[in-house]
């Protein structure tokens, strides 16, 4: 946590400014919305964080979100399949996409950037082709299934605030990923692979399998995210659903302390980074700033935050050095 003081400070600062100068920031409804959006985007960011940990990148994430998000209502509504078939099939499909990425990168030695960039084009193209560019939605159906994403869970002692259901998979995934990374040999191997793949390979670490596993995990999480997104939004158009989500996820992961050079992943940082991005977007409307300013404000605040974070780290490092010198 210590290494996230800068980010935590930025997050709290944005929250405080919005709460003090904006309207209704601290209402239960707004907080529920923020938890919901943070959970949805954090699931994607966790996946890409794992891949970044191996020193790779996944640009296809937004298109996987699109393909899965389109496939779910397409199979349920257009083809009348049962949810018991659709959910396992789309998740297996997502895992297969990740496996294909991993094998192309490790066996064929293709660049991760290139493989996933092609994936970005391919999966969106498939989604557009299979639906004939028609938007897909639940048309008021499958309300119970959609509760997985739009449900709100009552909490003891809180009347108006109910926990968005998407927080549950996020918490479970965050705990699992954090434990795997910090407490298991696989996690250690993953970070070692990201730090120096050649050294890890010569030490006997099965780097190919580790990297492939990371891409499978990333695509699985993107598939899960896509499914939750479509349950939340209710309808999607294949040409724009999930556009640029890979960039939001990568930005959140890097903001949360994942190094693009690999070898470093922080689950807490990823969730905090995503939450900061979502609160910033929320603040634009609650502060009454023109929506035209949105990207400029987000860009400026994040740049300031990352710079502040780096300065805090350097100052902390210098202080430790001085102490050890004494």
Partner 1 sequence: MTIQRTVAVLAAALSIMATMALAPVADLVAAQKERIRGYAAKPLERPHLSFVSNGVADFWTIAKAGSLAAGKELGCEVTVVFPGAGLSDQKRMLEDLVIRGIDGVSVSPIDPKNQTEVLDQIAEHALLITNDSDAPASPRLCYIGMDNYLAGRQCGELARKALPEGGEVAIFIGRLEQDNAKRRWQGFVDGLLGRSVDAERRDDHTKPFHEAGYTIVGTWTDSFDRAKAKANIEDVMTRHPNLALVTGLFEYNSVLAVEVFRQAGRAGKIKIAAFDEGAEVLVGIREGIVLGTVVQDPYGYGYESIKVLHALTQGKLDAIPEGGIMNIPARTITKDDVDAFWSDLKAKLAAGSSAR
CB 62 within 8 A of CB 245: yes
Q: Which of 35, 10, 26, 281 shows the shortest CA–CA distance to 170?
A: 35
Residue 236 burial (CB count, 10 A): 25
Residues 274-293 close enough to bind partner 1 by CB under 8 A: 281-282, 285-286, 288, 290-292
135 near partner 1, judged by CB under 8 A: yes
Beta bridge partners of 318: none
154 near partner 1, judged by CB under 8 A: no
Exactly one of 80, 140, 156, 204 binds partner 1 (CB under 8 A); that residue is 140
Q: How far is the CB of 176 from partner 1 (least distance, A)?
A: 25
CB 145 within 8 A of CB 231: yes
Residues 238-277 close enough to bind partner 1 by CB under 8 A: 238-241, 243-244
The residue (of 291 and 324) whose beta carbon lies closer to partner 1 is 291
CB 214 within 8 A of CB 177: no
Q: Which stretch binds partner 1 (CB under 8 A): 8-16, 28-36, 42-50, 179-187?
A: 28-36
Q: What would the DSSP string read from start to end of 139-188?
A: TT--HHHHHHHH-EEE-TT-SS-EEETTHHHHHHHHHHHHHHHHHSHHHH
Buried b (16+ CB within 10 A) or exposed e, 185-224: eebebbbbbbbebeebeeeebebbebbbbbbbbbbbbbbb
Q: How far is the CB of 69 from partner 1 (least distance, A)?
A: 9
Q: How far is the CB of 251 from partner 1 (least distance, A)?
A: 15
The residue (of 46 and 236) whose beta carbon lies closer to partner 1 is 236
Q: How far is the CB of 183 from partner 1 (least distance, A)?
A: 34
Residues 6+ apart with CB under 8 A from 280: 14, 297, 298, 301, 302
Residues 156-175 close enough to bind partner 1 by CB under 8 A: none
Exactly one of 85, 88, 139, 179 binds partner 1 (CB under 8 A); that residue is 139
CB 288 within 8 A of CB 17: no
The residue (of 110 and 287) whose beta carbon lies closer to partner 1 is 287
Site string for partner 1, 193-222 (x = CB under 8 A): ------------------------------
The number of helix segments (H) and strand segments (E) in the chain equals: 13, 4
Residue ranges in contact with partner 1 by CB under 8 A: 22-25, 27, 29-30, 33, 37, 40, 128, 132-135, 137, 139-140, 150, 229, 232-241, 243-244, 281-282, 285-286, 288, 290-292
């Amino acid at each position: 946590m210590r290494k996230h003081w800068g980010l935590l400070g930025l997050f709290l600062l944005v929250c405080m400014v919005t709460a003090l100068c904006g309207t209704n920031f601290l209402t239960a409804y707004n907080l529920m919305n923020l938890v919901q959006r943070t959970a949805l985007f954090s699931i994607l960011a966790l996946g890409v964080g794992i891949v970044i940990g191996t020193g790779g990148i996944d640009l296809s994430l937004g298109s996987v979100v699109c393909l899965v998000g389109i496939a779910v209502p397409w199979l349920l509504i257009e083809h009348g399949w049962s949810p018991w078939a659709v959910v396992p099939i789309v998740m297996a499909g997502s895992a297969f996409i990740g496996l294909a990425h991993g094998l192309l990168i490790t066996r064929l030695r293709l660049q991760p950037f290139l493989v996933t960039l092609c994936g970005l084009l391919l999966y969106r193209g498939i989604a557009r082709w299979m639906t004939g560019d028609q938007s897909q939605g639940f048309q008021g159906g499958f309300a119970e299934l959609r509760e997985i994403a739009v449900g709100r869970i009552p909490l003891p002692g809180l009347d108006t605030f109910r926990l968005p259901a998407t927080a549950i998979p996020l918490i479970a995934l965050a705990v699992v990923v954090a434990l795997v990374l910090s407490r298991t040999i696989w996690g250690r191997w993953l970070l070692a692979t990201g730090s120096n793949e050649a050294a890890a390979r010569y030490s006997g670490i099965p780097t190919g399998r580790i990297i492939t596993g990371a891409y499978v995990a990333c695509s699985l999480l993107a598939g899960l995210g896509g499914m939750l997104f479509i349950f939340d939004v209710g309808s999607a158009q294949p040409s724009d659903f999930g556009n640029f989500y890979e960039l939001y996820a990568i930005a959140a992961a890097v903001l949360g302390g994942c190094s693009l050079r690999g070898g470093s992943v922080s689950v807490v940082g990823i969730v905090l980074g995503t939450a900061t991005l979502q609160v910033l977007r929320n603040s634009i409307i609650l502060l009454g700033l023109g929506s035209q300013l949105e990207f400029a404000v987000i860009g400026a605040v994040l740049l300031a935050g990352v710079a502040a974070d780096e300065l805090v780290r350097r100052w902390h490092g210098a202080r430790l050095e001085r102490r050890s010198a004494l």
